[in-house]
Amino acid sequence: MTLAATDNPAGTAAGATPLIELRDVHVTYKARGTSLFRPQKVRALDGVSLAVYRGRTLGIVGESGSGKTTTSRILVGLEEPTSGEVLFQDEVVRRFTLPVRRRLGRVVSVVFQDPATALNGRMLVREALQDPLDVHGLGTPEQRRARVRDLIGMVGLPASALDALPGQLSGGQRQRVAIARALALEPQVIVADEPTSALDVSVRAQILNLLTDLRDELGLGLVFISHDIQTVRYLSDDMIVMNRGRIVEEGPAEEIFASPRDPYTRTLLGAAPTLLARSATEFSPMNTELGAP
């Protein structure tokens, strides 16, 4: 089973067209540190198919090395599949030319784990937010300045933050700026790859709530990636469990939590037995932060 549009998994926007879809995507890397002449191959992705819908959150969970970041890089066009297809804007992409990748980069935007590395430390927040608009030559100078003021407000920061350098902000504020930058080009999909893993526990819930609010306000599709299955549960409508580059389980998040079929999913759940005992409605990331073992 896949989350492809044709399958209409229960609870998914039945009949809706995905904003972006991957079909049977494989990615093979040359293993790091192996012989130049007889390189070992790493199968980072081994036949991944998924679909992202407007107004819904697709959670992707798996341990480190399972292929989550490779999936996010494929979705934003930073990486090219070794084989398989990417579908967006009524187009099946098999050749990843520069124009295709640029278009993909406007439709899908990514927020990575560490805002410190995502933002240039010498660029004012104002410049970081205006940069994508300049690169794509969007609007007049006055329209760009207005867009920058809108963006900072959308992520809940005061206009005064525009004159700060990233180093003058807290980790949570920096991640808000990274989210604002990801929104600059009005993407249809945001991919958040471990967006709170580098943050203090005290601000994690705020960032997760911000992402969900933005999804609803802007009608985005959200892909939320985490190694933490409980956070994925809290946020996701649909869920994918990855292990060694493959999807081992997928479906509506609540169904997977109610009756996980794959042994690997059960293992991930078993890592947090006290939380499993709680009902989904009781659960919030705040509870994990305060009460989890």
Cβ atoms 68, 275 nearer than 8 A: no
Which residue lies nearer to ligand ADP by CB, 41 or 102? 41
CB of 154 to ligand ADP, least distance (A): 27
Residue 253's binding partner, choosing from Mg ion, ligand ADP, none, with beta-carbon cut-off 5 to 8 A by kind? Answer: none
Q: Which two tokens stand for residue 88?
A: 């967006």
Identify what 65 binds: Mg ion, ligand ADP, none; CB under 5 to 8 Å per kind: ligand ADP
Query: For Mg ion, which is the closer residue by CB, 12 or 69?
Result: 69
Q: Look at residue 29 and give the partner it binds from Mg ion, ligand ADP, none, a contact being a CB closer than 5 to 8 Å depending on partner kind.
A: ligand ADP
Site residues (vs Mg ion, CB under 5 A)? 68-69
64 or 279: whose CB is closer to ligand ADP? 64
Least separation in angstroms between residue 32's CB and ligand ADP is: 5
User: Considering the complex, what minimum distance in angstroms separates the CB of residue 260 from ligand ADP?
Assistant: 19
Q: If contact means CB under 5 to 8 A according to the sort of partner, which of Mg ion, ligand ADP, none does residue 32 touch?
A: ligand ADP
Which listed option, Mg ion, ligand ADP, none, makes contact with residue 105 (CB within 5 to 8 Å by class)? none
The distance of closest approach from Cβ of residue 263 to ligand ADP in the complex, given in angstroms and rounded to an integer, is 19
Residue of 104, 182, 173, 184 lying closest to 139 (CA atoms): 184
Smallest distance, Å, CB 70 to ligand ADP? 3
CB of 194 to Mg ion, least distance (A): 6
Comparison of 180 and 191: residue with beta carbon closer to ligand ADP:
191
Q: Which partner, ligand ADP, Mg ion, none, binds residue 35 by CB below 5 to 8 Å per kind?
A: none
Which two three-digit tokens encode residue 288? 């994990």
Burial (0-12, 13-18, 19+ Cβ within 10 Å), 23 = middle
Q: Applying CB under 6 A, which residues contact ligand ADP?
A: 29, 32, 42, 44, 62, 64-70
Q: Cβ of residue 125: shortest distance to ligand ADP, in angstroms? A: 28
Cβ proximity to ligand ADP, 49 vs 69, nearer residue: 69
Q: Which does 42 bind (CB under 5 to 8 A by kind): Mg ion, ligand ADP, none?
A: ligand ADP
Residue nearest to Mg ion (CB): 69
Distance (Å, whole) CA 117 – CA 200: 17
